[in-house]
């Protein structure tokens, strides 16, 4: 197998951060990167560039031991970027981070992607994957189950309606959009129509004497899709 025209083990165009970085605790972030440039044959001029990319320029002179977990992860990404790779592989980059650190990492990954770097993200945190990724591959028991865009995997959006009486609501909506597009679920209706039809559905139900207490867009999240694809129906709600 070739990647960028060369064997995967001999690629200067690939950078990687595998779960957690390892650096000298007594050296500064800047000096840790300088050590890596000497081993990797990368010009030292890349150090301030990557520090700026990961928003660590103002803390570059501080010892690595003083960094928060989020800063350590960002320094790991900076190290992976030293060779200016075309492909960046990140394994669980938000693992162990607090909400602020996770948000910072999400923004960093999006920024790198927007700048033209292909980012391959491996993660079990499907909420993070849903917020970050354009395309997703689902792997179960070592087998690639499917690969598609996030939007395609989540499927067409719909509407969730909670109304009283629910039977009267279901009858009215089925008459409007067709019985095959209406599912009675958990005391409400799941309707397979675009969310921009919400006002129309609401008006029709009110005209029919149905009291609507909830009306919102309905979308499957990536976690639900994952359990459906991998056959674990016990987690599908």
Rounded mean pLDDT for each run of 10 residues along the chain, 237 residues in total = 52 77 94 93 94 94 94 92 91 86 89 89 88 90 88 80 93 93 88 89 93 87 83 55
Is the pTM higher than 0.75?
no
| DSSP string for 83-109 | T--SEEEEESTTTT--HHHHHHHHHHH
| Phi, psi for 96 (deg, rounded to 5) | 80, 0
Q: What is the pLDDT at residue 228?
A: 79
Give the burial class of 2: count Cβ atoms within 10 A of its Cβ; 0-12 exposed, 13-18 middle, 19 or more buried.
Answer: exposed
Consecutive H or E run containing 153: helix 150-154
Q: What is the pLDDT at residue 11?
A: 55
In a domain, 224, yes or no: no
- Total domains in the chain come to 2
In a domain, 149, yes or no: no
Do both 40 and 112 map to the same domain? yes
Query: Do residues 96 and 189 lie in contact, with contact meaning Cβ atoms separated by under 8 Å?
Result: no
- 32 is in which domain, residue-wise? 12-133
Do both 212 and 118 map to the same domain? no
Do both 54 and 97 map to the same domain? yes
Q: Any idea what the CATH number is for the domain that residue 165 is in?
A: 3.30.70
The CA distance from 90 to 84, in Å, is 15
Do both 85 and 126 map to the same domain? yes
The CA distance from 133 to 127, in Å, is 10
What are 62-93's pLDDT values in tens digits? 999 999 988 999 999 999 999 998 899 999 88
């Amino acid at each position: 197998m070739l990647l960028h025209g060369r064997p995967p083990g001999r690629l200067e165009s690939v950078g990687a951060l595998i779960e957690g970085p390892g650096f000298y605790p007594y050296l500064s972030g800047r000096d840790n990167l300088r050590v890596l440039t000497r081993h990797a044959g990368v010009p030292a001029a890349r150090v301030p560039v990557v520090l700026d990319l990961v928003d660590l320029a103002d803390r570059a002179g501080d010892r690595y031991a003083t960094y928060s977990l989020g800063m350590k992860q960002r320094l790991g990404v900076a190290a992976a970027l030293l060779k200016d790779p075309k492909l960046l592989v990140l394994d669980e980059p938000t693992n162990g981070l607090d909400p602020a650190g996770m948000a910072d990492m999400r923004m960093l990954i999006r920024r790198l992607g927007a700048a033209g770097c292909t980012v391959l993200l491996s993660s079990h945190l499907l909420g993070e994957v849903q917020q970050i990724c354009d395309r997703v591959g689902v792997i179960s028991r070592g087998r690639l189950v499917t690969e598609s865009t996030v939007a395609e995997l989540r499927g067409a959006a719909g509407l969730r309606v909670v109304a009283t009486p629910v039977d009267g609501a279901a009858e009215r909506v089925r008459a409007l959009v067709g019985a095959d597009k209406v599912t009675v679920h958990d005391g409400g209706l799941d309707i397979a129509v675009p969310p921009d039809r919400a006002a129309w559905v609401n008006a029709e139900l009110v005209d029919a004497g149905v009291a609507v207490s909830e009306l919102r867009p309905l979308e499957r999240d990536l976690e639900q899709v994952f359990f459906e694809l991998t056959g674990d129906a016990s987690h599908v709600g």
